[in-house]
Amino acid sequence: MSARATPLMLQHRAAKRAYPDAIVFFRLGDFYEMFEDDAVLCSRLLDLTLTSRNKGKPDEVPMAGVPHHAAHGYIGRLLSLGYNVAICEQMADPTTVKGIVPREVVRVLTPGTVTSSEHLDVSTNNWLAAIDVTAERVGIALLDVSTGELRAAGFPDLAGALGELSRSLPREVIAGGDGARSAQEPLPVAIRAVLGEVPVRDDAPLDAAALEAALGPLAGEAARGAVEVRGAVGRALRYARACSPGVDLPVRRIADFDPSEHLVLDPVAQRHLELVESPAGRKSTLLGTIDATRTPPGARLLRRRLLAPLTGVARIRRRLDQVELFVDDPRLREELRAALGAVGDLERLAVRAMLGEATPKDLGALRDGLVAARRAVEVVSGVEAPTGQEVLELDATVDTVDDVADALRAALCDRPPASEKEGAIFRDGFDVELDEAEKLRRHGTELMIALEAKLRDETGIATLKVRFTRVFGWYVEVTRSHTARAPSSWRRKQTVAGGERFTLPELDELADRIVHAEARHRERELSLLAELLVTVKAASDRVAALSERIARWDVAAALAEIAHRFDYRRPDVDASDVLAITDGRHPVVEQLAAAGRFVPNDVALEASAERLWIVTGPNMAGKSTLLRQVALSVVLAQLGSFVPAREARIGIVDRVLSRVGASDNLSRGESTFMVEMRETAEILRKATAKSLVILDEIGRGTSTFDGLAIAWAVAEYLDEAVRCRTLFATHYHELTALADTSEHVRNVSVSAEESDGDIVFLHRLVKGPASRSYGVAVAKLAGLPESVLARSRGLLEMLESGGNTAAPAPLATKRARKTPQLELFAGSAPSGNEREVLDTLRGVDVERLTPLDALSLVARMKGRLSKESKESKEPGKGGST
């Protein structure tokens, strides 16, 4: 560091020292400048020109800047890249300060704590997650500063905590705690493995005093919670406070949540089911399909419910009752939805009011929102169904915050400006003093114009102008050629290129009155605004409560709208172990398919009876679609929605576990197979008798023998040990033999018809295994050359006839399926090595098997088999001497 650093750079370095992890936006006049490393980084990230300050001097430093009025966009980009931005402002008006202007960091903007609407997605909560790892347990807290929500829970281990966090997809994570260091994997690595690329901040230790300070007014409430929960809440609040120094956080209570009340959807299932995200875009997600909400808080609530459906029958039924009510009363639904369209984001407006950040424009939006909300409450109160009042939780006292709505209506003009600096906030006739100041101000300008005319007249200078600048105030300007005609009583003020600027007593006097009126007007406006903000701030909790209520109606009416539009039916949700869907459809695929082209199917599983379906059928028949549609209907039913089916009975599911397709995860340096095995192991470890497991083509990531062997063992384990409801799609026809040995297993297949070697997909589920794989027909569809197809057909026939006969066997040959054994090994009794491998497999305790063990086991078994085949292929080897 240069000893000759300028005072300005010293100021900058102090800010940087206080916030070393943030990019410092340093206010210099109309710009925010970044210096040193920040400048280099930002020039790259934001595509800014890198210049330098104090060029050529010993203390030359890299510099890059953005105009202050355009800063929002740049800050947004940095936040989305996971960076924090510290805003270092000028704390005084530079024109009134001698020497260097004092500067301070007034706010640190971080991805998880922003509150301004420019940086927020209206349909998503903006969660900051805090994790506190103690020696025994793990606490998590979720804080959305933009809505004032704070939720917390404790978990026995990190995996459980992260699994729960993955529902919320936080935008920023802070992690700390005594136990954090003892973890096998560095905490940020473990967190990113589950949550994806999210900024993770290493949090400083939190001692008792710091915890007390961090909890602040919530300390009493937090005391009820466990130590790890308190720690997590404290960390979240401490971080949020540090980001907004001197601001009262809008958090009023800690909502605990009990993870056991929610259907577990781990990140793998979330991804596979494309609940809220899909590589194909929002339209292809379940949320994108069912989100017909009309308010941002409603959209956020629906998203939250979708990622955390319930497991309690009573609560689910209460939600379904609401939806049903809006389905049965279309007029009520339509009127409510019309009113909701104008409500807007009352929740975040309430928070900005609480934070003192509400702009005049926000107040206008609050006014309009409250008026619309009152209308919505009126509509809902008119519900006619006999139990309607109860179902919609309408007690006598819905507080529509009328007093505030009325105050805002009386005060504000129709479209208040985004910034109070622009003025023109209030309605004419609202305040006598303000109106007077306004009249004077407007009048003053008119008088100036009149004075200009008068002076032109008196002097005969037609080009004379009366003008104003901030530095010189009001003056008369006369061009050079006419300066001689200026009266001698005028005082010369300034010489400019084109002429002279003068002043005279009459002008000064008028200017004074105008400036005075201007200042009075401004002062009055600001004080009225401050009063209004106090009123609104005092009512912000009431506004938040109203918003919450309206969000629930919004979600119910939206789900009813969807049920109406897409013909969904109310599911019968109970505590049984049944999962029976008649004419079920895939909610997303049916929308993307041509109207009426989606083929509905029935599924009926029962954990205590027929619990495992082996689904076979040609490629492209619809196996994956079927599996997913069942899982999605469970999610929909348990979040309290109607389902895409003619009828559905859904016994509560505690977890949806899925392993779909052979998606690569090569970016993490693991082979597809390893990922597949890791996920499969996870499923076997976590599934309970109340779970729903969907397995789609597991074993694909490895060779046929390994794959089949593993798929077989996994299916058996699910049937015999876990005993849960399972759908198992497979391309291994050999697996269909499982049905012969277990009464709980059934074979079904998605049908296709073949005529003349062409395949027609019927997408209809039928009993029994698929008869053939249709692979060659699909290949034809895909356009393989005829010669290749012909050769394949010949080979297929030869293989299907079970041997090396040269003469092709008839196509219809059906393989015997009497003995339940692996048909790949069929043809002769299993050899010694094969039997050994099978026995090994049967003896495997899958629950204890780590992915690595599984890998080495497979390698061993494979070794046994290939050794044998080598021996049998090279019979002469042993005898050569």
Listed ranges 135-143, 306-314, 388-396, 590-598: which one lies at the site for ligand ADP (CB under 6 A): 590-598
Listed ranges 537-545, 546-554, 623-631, 831-839: which one lies at the site for ligand ADP (CB under 6 A): 623-631
**Torsion (CA) 817, 819, 821, 823 in degrees, nearest 10:** -30
State how far the Cα of 439 lies from the Cα of 520, in Å rounded to an integer. 11
Q: How many residues can be counted in the chain? A: 881
User: Can residue 589 be called a binding residue for ligand ADP (CB under 6 A)?
Assistant: yes
701 contacts which partner out of ligand ADP, Mg ion, none, CB within 5 to 8 A by kind?
none
State how far the Cα of 787 lies from the Cα of 17, in Å rounded to an integer. 73
Q: Does residue 141 contact residue 230 with C-beta atoms inside 8 Å?
A: no
CB of 629 to Mg ion, least distance (A): 13
CB of 696 to ligand ADP, least distance (A): 7
CB of 775 to ligand ADP, least distance (A): 11
Residue 617 or residue 701: which is nearer to ligand ADP going by CB? 617
User: Can residue 599 be called a binding residue for ligand ADP (CB under 6 A)?
Assistant: yes
Q: What sections of 670-808 are H helices per DSSP?
A: 672-686, 704-717, 738-741, 775-781, 786-800
Number of amino acids touching ligand ADP (CB under 6 A): 15
State how far the Cα of 358 lies from the Cα of 112, in Å rounded to an integer. 20
- Where is 613: in which H helix or E strand? strand 612-616
CB of 272 to ligand ADP, least distance (A): 13
Distances (CA, A) of 125 to 170, 183, 650, 698, 762: 8, 30, 29, 35, 42
User: Can residue 622 be called a binding residue for ligand ADP (CB under 6 A)?
Assistant: yes
Binding mask 439-468 for ligand ADP (x = CB under 6 A): ------------------------------
CB of 759 to ligand ADP, least distance (A): 12
CB of 623 to Mg ion, least distance (A): 5
CB of 589 to ligand ADP, least distance (A): 5
Q: Which of 157, 153, 191, 172 is nearest to 267 (CA)?
A: 191
Listed ranges 236-244, 322-330, 620-628, 752-760: which one lies at the site for ligand ADP (CB under 6 A): 620-628
Distances (CA, A) of 358 to 346, 412, 781: 12, 14, 61
CB of 619 to Mg ion, least distance (A): 7
CB of 595 to Mg ion, least distance (A): 24
Residue 486 or residue 631: which is nearer to Mg ion going by CB? 631
Residue 281 — left, alpha, or beta (φ > 0 → left; ψ -120 to 50 → alpha)?
left
> What are the backbone angles phi and psi of residue 729, rounded to the nearest 5°?
-90, 135
Nearest-5° angle of CA 476, CA 477, CA 479? 150
User: Can residue 593 be called a binding residue for ligand ADP (CB under 6 A)?
Assistant: yes
User: Can residue 698 be called a binding residue for ligand ADP (CB under 6 A)?
Assistant: no
Report how far Cα 459 is from the mean position of its chain's Cα atoms.
71
Distances (CA, A) of 70 to 30, 49, 74, 416, 530: 10, 15, 7, 21, 27
Residue 470 or residue 767: which is nearer to ligand ADP going by CB? 767
Residue 35 or residue 568: which is nearer to ligand ADP going by CB? 568
Structure tokens at 261: 């009340």
625 contacts which partner out of Mg ion, ligand ADP, none, CB within 5 to 8 A by kind?
ligand ADP
State how far the Cα of 849 lies from the Cα of 202, in Å rounded to an integer. 33
Residue 297 or residue 644: which is nearer to ligand ADP going by CB? 644
**Torsion (CA) 659, 663, 667, 673 in degrees, nearest 10:** 70
State how far the Cα of 354 lies from the Cα of 360, in Å rounded to an integer. 14
43 contacts which partner out of ligand ADP, Mg ion, none, CB within 5 to 8 A by kind?
none
State how far the Cα of 56 lies from the Cα of 58, in Å rounded to an integer. 7
Structure tokens at 379: 């509509």
User: Can residue 625 be called a binding residue for ligand ADP (CB under 6 A)?
Assistant: yes
CB of 653 to ligand ADP, least distance (A): 21
User: Can residue 623 be called a binding residue for ligand ADP (CB under 6 A)?
Assistant: yes
Listed ranges 108-116, 154-162, 532-540, 613-621: which one lies at the site for ligand ADP (CB under 6 A): 613-621
- Where is 752: in which H helix or E strand? strand 745-755
Other CB atoms within a 10 A radius of the CB of residue 590 amount to 21
Listed ranges 147-155, 614-622, 639-647, 839-847: which one lies at the site for ligand ADP (CB under 6 A): 614-622
State how far the Cα of 682 lies from the Cα of 676, in Å rounded to an integer. 10
- Residue number of the CB closest to Mg ion reads 624
Q: Which of 169, 413, 492, 437 is nearest to 300 (CA)?
A: 169
Q: Which residues are CB-neighbours of 638 under 8 A, at least 6 positions away?
A: 263, 309, 310, 311, 316, 573, 650, 652, 653
Work out which of 39, 544, 621, 858 binds ligand ADP, going by CB under 6 A. 621
Work out which of 176, 309, 344, 617 binds ligand ADP, going by CB under 6 A. 617
Residue 113 or residue 624: which is nearer to Mg ion going by CB? 624
Residue 285 or residue 624: which is nearer to ligand ADP going by CB? 624
Work out which of 125, 126, 619, 641 binds ligand ADP, going by CB under 6 A. 619
Listed ranges 6-14, 156-164, 411-419, 617-625: which one lies at the site for ligand ADP (CB under 6 A): 617-625
CB of 761 to Mg ion, least distance (A): 12
User: Can residue 620 be called a binding residue for ligand ADP (CB under 6 A)?
Assistant: yes
Structure tokens at 264: 């577990």
Q: Which of 697, 699, 687, 698 is nearest to 725 (CA)?
A: 687
Listed ranges 387-395, 505-513, 539-547, 594-602: which one lies at the site for ligand ADP (CB under 6 A): 594-602
User: Can residue 763 be called a binding residue for ligand ADP (CB under 6 A)?
Assistant: yes
- Residue number of the CB closest to ligand ADP reads 622
The one-letter amino acid code at 361 reads K
Residues found near Mg ion in the complex (CB under 5 A): 623-624
CB of 823 to ligand ADP, least distance (A): 21
User: Can residue 295 be called a binding residue for ligand ADP (CB under 6 A)?
Assistant: no
State how far the Cα of 773 lies from the Cα of 619, in Å rounded to an integer. 8
Residue 623 or residue 678: which is nearer to Mg ion going by CB? 623
Listed ranges 345-353, 616-624, 738-746, 839-847: which one lies at the site for ligand ADP (CB under 6 A): 616-624
Structure tokens at 302: 């629906």
Residue 183 or residue 766: which is nearer to Mg ion going by CB? 766
User: Can residue 777 be called a binding residue for ligand ADP (CB under 6 A)?
Assistant: no
Q: At 418, is the secondary structure helix, strand, or coil?
A: coil
User: Can residue 624 be called a binding residue for ligand ADP (CB under 6 A)?
Assistant: yes
Interface with ligand ADP by CB under 6 A: which residues? 589, 593, 597-599, 617, 619-625, 750, 763
